[in-house]
C-alpha cells in the first residue's frame, strides 16, 4: 500500500478503545461488513501507525488507524489547510472556509476541518470546542489537550463566549439596530422537519442586529446572538423580513429546499437562491482563556465571496452544488 496515497485517518478515542478493529470499523461504517474490514486489514488496506494490525486486534486509546479503502478514503488530496488566526499552548483558532465540514458526517469520505488541523499539529490532542455548519465560514476554536477542551466547552455552555457574525441579507434594511426576541421551535406548517420558526412555546432566543453597510439590493449586518439556538441567526433574520442571501431553507418556500433535495440544482432554483451558500460568516469570538482567565478576542476577515458583494459587485454563482448538505453539524446560533 502506498502510504502517501490519499487516505482516511481515524484517531482511536474512548468509544473505540477496547473494541476489535474489524468490529468497530464495521460499526463506524455500516455500509461495509465486518468480514470486508477483516479482509482489508489482512490486505493492508487498513493499517495502524503503531503496530501490525489484525482483524482481532483490540484498538488502543490514541492509536492512529489509516484506511485506503475506496468509498471511505478520499479520491484526491486534501484542500489547503485553514488559516490559523490564533494559537498558544492551549488553543488553536482557524478561519474555516465556506463549504468545508467541521467534522466528518456520514460514511462517505469528505475532507473535514478537524482532520486537517490534526495533520497540521501531529502529536497533539486536537479537539473541537464548538461547530459551524458546512456553508458558514469563519472562526472555529479548537483545543490542544483535554483540560482546555473541557474548560472551553463549559464556557460555551455557560454562554461566557461572545459570538459575532456578519451576514449579507436580501433587501436594504431601514433601521440601524434591531433586537430580535422571538422564541424558536419547529416552523409551524412546514414540510421540512429541520426548519425552525417563531414559536411562543419554543426556546427563548435573542439576537442583536446592527447594520454595517447598505448596498444597492442587499445589506451587510452584524449579528450578536445572546442565546444559542439551532439556526437562530438565520431564523431571526427571516422573521425580521431580511433573510440571508443564498439561504436554501430560510427566506424560501419549502418547495425550494425539497426540490433541491429531490432533483438537484436547476437554473430556476439557482435564480431563486441567488448565491452558492448562505452568506453568513463567524467573524469573531471573545472568551475567557482556560488557563489565565483573561479575555481573548479572535477574528477572521470577511471572505472574498462576501467581500466582493460588499465592495459593490452583484452576487455571482461561481460554482454549483447539486444538493444541500443536511447534517447535524450546525453551530447553535448559525
Residues annotated as catalytic (active site), given as ranges: 133
Distance, in Å, from the CA atom of 226 to the CA atom of 294, rounded to the nearest integer, reads 21
> In this structure, are residues 234 and 334 in contact, taking their beta carbons and an 8 Å threshold?
yes
> In this structure, are residues 121 and 98 in contact, taking their beta carbons and an 8 Å threshold?
no
> In this structure, are residues 46 and 37 in contact, taking their beta carbons and an 8 Å threshold?
yes
The residue among 265, 268, 192 whose CA lies nearest residue 231 is 192
Distance of CA 75 to the CA centre of its chain: 22
Secondary structure (3-state) at 310: helix
SS3 content of the chain, % helix, strand, coil (to 5): 20, 25, 50
Distance, in Å, from the CA atom of 204 to the CA atom of 226, rounded to the nearest integer, reads 10
Assigned C-alpha cell, 247: 439561504
Amino acid at each position: 500500500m502506498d502510504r502517501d496515497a490519499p487516505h482516511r485517518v481515524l484517531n482511536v478515542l474512548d468509544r473505540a478503545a477496547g473494541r476489535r478493529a474489524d468490529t468497530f470499523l464495521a460499526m463506524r461504517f455500516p455500509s461495509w461488513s465486518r468480514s470486508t474490514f477483516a479482509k482489508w486489514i489482512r490486505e493492508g488496506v487498513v493499517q495502524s501507525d503503531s503496530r501490525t494490525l489484525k482483524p482481532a486486534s483490540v484498538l488502543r486509546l490514541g492509536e492512529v488507524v489509516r484506511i485506503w479503502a475506496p468509498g471511505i478514503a478520499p479520491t484526491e488530496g486534501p484542500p489547503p489547510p485553514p488559516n490559523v488566526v490564533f494559537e498558544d499552548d492551549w488553543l488553536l483558532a482557524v478561519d474555516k472556509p465556506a463549504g468545508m465540514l467541521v467534522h466528518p458526517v456520514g460514511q462517505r469520505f469528505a475532507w473535514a476541518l478537524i482532520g486537517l488541523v490534526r495533520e497540521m499539529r501531529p502529536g497533539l490532542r486536537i479537539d473541537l470546542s464548538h461547530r459551524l455548519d458546512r456553508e458558514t465560514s469563519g472562526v472555529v476554536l479548537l483545543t490542544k489537550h483535554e483540560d482546555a477542551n473541557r474548560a472551553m466547552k463549559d464556557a460555551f455552555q455557560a454562554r461566557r463566549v461572545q459570538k459575532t457574525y456578519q451576514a449579507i441579507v436580501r433587501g436594504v434594511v431601514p433601521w440601524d439596530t434591531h433586537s430580535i426576541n422571538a422564541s424558536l421551535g419547529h416552523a409551524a406548517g412546514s414540510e421540512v422537519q429541520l426548519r425552525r420558526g417563531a414559536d411562543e412555546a419554543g426556546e427563548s432566543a435573542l439576537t442583536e442586529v446592527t447594520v454595517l453597510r447598505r448596498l444597492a439590493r442587499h445589506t451587510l449586518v452584524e449579528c450578536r446572538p445572546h442565546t444559542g439556538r439551532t439556526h437562530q441567526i438565520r431564523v431571526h433574520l427571516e422573521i425580521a423580513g431580511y433573510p440571508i442571501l443564498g439561504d436554501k431553507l430560510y427566506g424560501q418556500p419549502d418547495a425550494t429546499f425539497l426540490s433541491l433535495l429531490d432533483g438537484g440544482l436547476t437554473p430556476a432554483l439557482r435564480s431563486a437562491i441567488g448565491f452558492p451558500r448562505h452568506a453568513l460568516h463567524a467573524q469573531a469570538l471573545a472568551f475567557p482563556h482556560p488557563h489565565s482567565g483573561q479575555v481573548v478576542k479572535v477574528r477572521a476577515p470577511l471572505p472574498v465571496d462576501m467581500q466582493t458583494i460588499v465592495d459593490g459587485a452583484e452576487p455571482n454563482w461561481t460554482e454549483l452544488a447539486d444538493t444541500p448538505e443536511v447534517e447535524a453539524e450546525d453551530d447553535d446560533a448559525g
